[in-house]
Amino acid sequence: MALLEVEDLVVQFYTEDGTVRAVDGISYEIDRGETVALVGESGAGKSVTCLSLLRLLERPGEIVSGEIRFDGRDVLGLSDEELRDLRGNEIAMVFQDPSAALNPVYTVGEQIAEAIRAHEDVTDETARRRAIDLLERVEIPDAASRYSEYPHEFSGGMQQRVVIAMALSCEPDLLVCDEPTTALDVTIEAGILELLEDLAAEFDTAIQLVSHDLGVVAGLCDRVQVMYAGEIVERAPTEELYYDPKHPYTVGLMASIPRIGDDRDELPTIPGSMPDLVDVPTGCRFHPRCPYAEEACRLRAPSLVDVETGVPADEPAPNDHLAACHEYTDDLVDGLDYEVVVEDGGGLE
């Protein structure tokens, strides 16, 4: 049994312009100790998916249907008290903006100690010692004295380390990281990612990483799931997805990454923008931006299937490389006339 199981999750937001279907029927699993990425452009539904795991959505957002099971338990059926025990204890979250995640009127040490006391019956002194130990583990210099400092006295990178320490304070089974290196420079980013990798191994913690930075994902994750307009359009082991992307959207993302020794005068871009989720296109949601779209793409939404056999995602398949494109489904006999090329810098032929 997987640690986390998400099945047919649908999340909607009710606005004056209409109903936004931010997450539309996605399914996936994460095993213990595994690191899985959700990637895609802004507005794809990545952060909404993360918030849904801990039922942190507020009106006008609502989980309309689907299932979220953690260690065999139905998360959507938990009481408020059971949710409080789950959050921070078994599933912890590292938010995108550490300055917003930390309370400015409490010291960083007290905020970590509070997280420990909320879930464990320990004395204040024990909580304090453990908080200092966590600050040391995330490489905060002079942790004992900095325990009593406030968030504004820390740099952005150090604030993020504090948030990670807080998330790991109760040794959770799953760490949900929503773009944890946003707005950090590349040197600090590398340090944070290395820290996450080391601590996840130490605590045997699974990670769900949300990112739009494909370089970050390549160095940290076991598997990658590509989201577009609320749907998962491709899923594969990291190395396979990077060297052999199958969905035209994924190929476009890969082609836009600069590479060492790249002699292209300019990087290719994906034309257009993410569709309005109040009024999504019929058929494949990517077809208005796809240079290889055919009539079938405009008329019928493709299923997520095994790229080798066409077996649907909800059935046993020989491998874990799936894509939602008519190129790989059985109902479009002729397929789409393109070939993936990555060796020469990425792109479609």
Does residue 47 register a pLDDT over 80? yes
**Whole-number Å distance between alpha carbons of 290 and 249:** 8
pLDDT averaged over every residue in the chain: 88
Which SS3 state, helix, strand or coil, does residue 221 take?
Answer: coil
Q: Mind listing the pLDDT tens digit for each residue in 191-243? A: 778 888 888 888 889 999 998 778 788 888 999 999 999 999 999 999 999 99
Lay out the sheet containing 4-15: strands in order across.
18-30, 4-15, 61-70, 73-74
Position 183 scores a pLDDT of 66
Q: Read off the pLDDT of each residue in 76-97 and give the average, rounded to a whole number.
A: 92
**Whole-number Å distance between alpha carbons of 173 and 320:** 23
From start to end of the chain, where are the E strands? Answer: 4-15, 18-30, 35-39, 61-70, 73-74, 91-94, 174-178, 206-211, 223-228, 231-237, 305-306, 322-323
The least confident of 122-126, 210-214, 267-271, 328-332 is 328-332
Bigger pLDDT: 245 or 194? Answer: 245
Does residue 344 register a pLDDT over 50? no
Q: Read off the pLDDT of each residue in 52-80 and give the average, rounded to a whole number.
A: 95
**Whole-number Å distance between alpha carbons of 206 and 125:** 29
Bigger pLDDT: 76 or 196? Answer: 76
Q: Can you give the residue ranges of every domain in the chain?
A: 4-221, 247-328
**Is the Cα dihedral 97, 100, 101, 104 positive or negative?**
positive
Does residue 147 register a pLDDT over 90? yes
Q: Read off the pLDDT of each residue in 141-156 and give the average, rounded to a whole number.
A: 94
Position 196 scores a pLDDT of 82
Q: Read off the pLDDT of each residue in 91-111 and give the average, rounded to a whole number.
A: 92
Position 316 scores a pLDDT of 65
**Whole-number Å distance between alpha carbons of 235 and 266:** 28
Superfamily of structural domain 4-221: P-loop containing nucleotide triphosphate hydrolases (3.40.50.300)
Position 244 scores a pLDDT of 92
Q: Read off the pLDDT of each residue in 8-37 and give the average, rounded to a whole number.
A: 94
